Structure formats: structure tokens, C-alpha cells
Amino acid sequence: MRLTEITCKTALVKSGIPGVDFVINPYLGCAHGCRYCYAVFMSRYARQHRGAPWGSFVEVKVNLPQVLAAELRRKRPRSRALLASVCDPYQPAEGRYRLTRRCLELLGEFGWGVDILTRSPLVTRDLELLAATPGATVGLSIPTDDDRVRRVLEPQAPPIGARVAALKQLHQAGLNPWVFIAPLLPLNPARLHDLIGPFVSHVLTDPLNYRRQVQHLFRRQHWDYALTDEFAAQTRAELLKVFGSRLQSCRSGPVTD
């Protein structure tokens, strides 16, 4: 993993994601390197590692807290910010640089709302801070119950069991966490419900959208069935049976090859 420090000119980026006002990405690149990730296009914007394989580099925006503080002083009215949209805000570099934590402190200081989406148990480091932020939401990405699937498609990401343990901690801290079951990977819906059901306020699903970039991995594992629209529809139906009204979908319409 190649780690580089860079500076940035902006922190808050107006979001095109439905229901999200602004996003903050403290890092360019992501050490988790999930093989299906939609954010692989960000490699072309890397300062020091342009075009490098996704998951092989992280560029750390070391001045981001100072930039964010200046922007928050100018922004009216207050709004909400998501950390993050094209990186994981709690990837390993956060343990050293603490950029996400500093962003949370600033957003709270200026009365902004906070939304977190991560697949890392490191989020529990900031439990006290998140619990003290009114209206803060925390989501964990847990797209399968099977850690064998995770090792193939998310080889550098935390194990499923570690994420479930973090989810339980968030729940016990009163944060009402949610889970992003996306993309829909090979999984056992009933077992996934047993793992996360007691600890979530709701779950969101989304199908596997960028199939072409992972189809060779799926075929090598004999998971061809999971590349179809039928699999996505059936899996969502089975998840609906076990999660009921807590199941939501982040979008509708055809998937992308």
C-alpha cells in the first residue's frame, strides 16, 4: 500500500446522491480495494498515483480539517454531510491521521448533521463523539454473511464478524445503526438476518451494478448465478421476508453492465 500526503482546496462537495446534501472524502483512494467498487474511476484523479490499481494507494488530504473549518464558517444555512462517498472514512490511514474524527468535531461544533457509511470497525473509536452529535447516523456495509465471499471480493477489508461486532457496539451506544447490503453478493439471507437483525434500525439493498469488472472472479468461484437480475430480485425478496418493513432499496431500475 502506497501512502502519500497531499493538500486539497475544498472539503465540502455538493452531492448528487438522493437525500445527501454534501459529501466529505478525507482520502483519495481506499485501502479496502473492493473488487466491485464503483469508485475505481477515482484513480484518474490521483495526484501521485494516477491510473494505479484501485486499492494499491491512498492519498491523505492532510489540510482537510483546516479547509473544512473555513468552509463551515462561510456556509449558511446549516446542512448535513456524508463521510464518505468515494472512499472509506475509517480505512486504516484514519487510525494515524484522524481526519474523519476531526471532521466530526468540526461538523458538530458548527451544528451540522453527520452521516457515516463505512465497512470498518474503527468507527467504534468515535462512539462517544457520534453519540453526542444530534441526529448522527451510522451505516455499516455488510454485503454478505459469508467471509469466504468477502475474502474474494473484499480481500483487504475487515472480516464480516468484526463488522457485526462493531454494529452491536453502535447499537449498544444508542446510535440506531443501519446496514448497507450492497452490492448483493452470494449470501444466505436468513443467516445474515440472524447476524445483524437485532442491531439495525433498517437495511438498504442495491444490486451488483458493475458486473463486468468482477465477472471473471464470480465465474472462477462458480457464482455465475449471482451475476443475473433474477438473483438480485430473488435475494431482495428473501431479505424482505426476514427484515420486513426495515428493508429499503436505494434505487430502482436496470443495473449497469
Decide if 244 is inside a domain.
yes
First vs last C-alpha separation in the chain: 29
255 and 178 part of one domain:
yes
Q: Tens digits of per-residue pLDDT, 82-114?
A: 998 999 999 999 999 999 999 999 999 999 999
Query: Could you tell me the three cell numbers for 36?
Result: 466491485
Q: Which domain holds residue 27?
A: 1-121
115 and 146 part of one domain:
no
Q: Is residue 46 pLDDT above 70, yes or no?
A: no
pTM of the model: 0.91
Q: Tens digits of per-residue pLDDT, 144-200?
A: 999 999 999 999 999 999 999 999 999 999 999 999 999 999 999 999 999 999 999
169 and 112 part of one domain:
no
Q: Look at 11-20, 45-54, 118-127, 155-164 and tell me which has the smallest mean pLDDT.
A: 45-54
Which pLDDT score is estimated for 51?
74
Q: What angle do CA 102, 199, 146 make, to 5 degrees?
A: 95
188 and 247 part of one domain:
yes
175 and 210 part of one domain:
yes
Residue type, 111: G
157 and 99 part of one domain:
no
14 and 111 part of one domain:
yes
Decide if 128 is inside a domain.
no
Residue in the structure block whose three cell numbers are 471473471 = 216
- Strand stretches in the chain, DSSP E: 2-6, 13-14, 22-23, 27-28, 57-61, 80-83, 113-118, 137-141, 178-181, 203-205, 247-249
